[in-house]
């Protein structure tokens, strides 16, 4: 389900984490106050959806501002990721001027999942985006997602995954007479994929997954990950969040 691509050494992970911390004033709260879950950058799955109810950026209007901020301070990291994905995919990759560039999930210790309570989902955020921009139509069958941890809790972190695609969810619900994702995944085996700081995890996004738990979370722990998606458009891949 997953591929791992080495990107950063420990010193570079600390550098990236410190730069994210230095932009604390620009973190976007992703929950009602008080919250300890933030993003640095706009995120299509958040800012183009009907929820959450709390204030959030205007995705298309605010993307250029956040993109410039992230590229100014962390352009070295995004370029490393872009070039690595280009080699991995065997095709040109680029960021979008209109959509958000890859950004960061930032979990403080209070919001880091200790158990399997995070959202169970597929990465279908591309369905929320207006792709009528005059460029080549996206190949939604090629959708992929990537996560690069720069800091993890003392108890580690990772991803729960199920051998179940978004196309199979409806059939499973009908066959077993269930109506929620929590019920659906009971009929499939779960695998925990551990993360390592500096190693980028790449997966299709179309398979059911969930932020995995951290069994040992200490005061002051953080879970900071660079997040992004990719879609093939013509001969190249567009990287965004």
Grouped pLDDT means (10 residues each) for the chain, 241 residues = 95 98 97 93 95 85 98 98 98 96 98 95 96 94 97 96 93 94 94 98 95 95 98 97 98
Q: Measured between alpha carbons, how far is 214 from 107 in angstroms, rounded to an integer? A: 12
Say what the pLDDT of residue 232 is: 97
Burial of 18: CB neighbours in 10 Å, binned 0-12, 13-18, 19+? exposed
User: Hey, what CATH class is 3-240 in?
Assistant: mainly beta
pLDDT at res. 60: 97
CA 67 – CA 240 distance, rounded (Å): 10
Alpha carbons 36 and 112: distance in angstroms, whole number? 9
pTM: 0.95
Report how far residue 68's alpha carbon sits from residue 192's, in angstroms, rounded to the nearest whole number.
Answer: 35
Residue 83 · residue 228 · CB < 8 Å: no
């Amino acid at each position: 389900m997953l591929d791992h691509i080495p990107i950063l050494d420990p010193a570079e992970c600390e550098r990236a984490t410190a730069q994210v911390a230095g932009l604390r004033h620009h973190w976007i709260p992703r929950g009602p106050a008080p919250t300890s879950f933030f993003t640095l950058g706009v995120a299509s799955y958040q800012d183009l959806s009907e929820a959450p109810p709390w204030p959030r950026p205007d995705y298309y209007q605010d993307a250029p501002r956040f993109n410039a901020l992230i590229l100014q301070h962390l352009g070295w990291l995004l370029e490393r990721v872009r070039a690595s994905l280009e080699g991995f995919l065997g095709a040109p990759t680029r960021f979008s001027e209109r959509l958000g560039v890859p950004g960061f999930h930032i979990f403080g210790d209070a919001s880091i999942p200790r158990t399997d309570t995070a959202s169970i989902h597929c990465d279908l955020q591309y369905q929320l985006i207006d792709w009528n921009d005059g460029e080549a139509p996206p190949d939604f069958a090629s959708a992929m997602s990537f996560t690069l941890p720069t800091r993890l809790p003392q108890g580690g972190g990772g991803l729960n995954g199920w051998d179940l695609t978004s196309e199979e969810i409806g059939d499973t619900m009908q066959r077993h007479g269930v109506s929620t994702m929590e019920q659906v995944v009971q009929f499939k085996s779960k695998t925990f994929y551990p993360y390592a700081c500096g190693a980028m995890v790449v997966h299709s996004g179309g398979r059911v997954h969930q932020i995995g738990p951290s069994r040992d979370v200490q005061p002051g722990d953080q879970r900071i990950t660079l997040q992004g998606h990719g879609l093939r458009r013509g001969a190249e891949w567009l990287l965004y969040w």
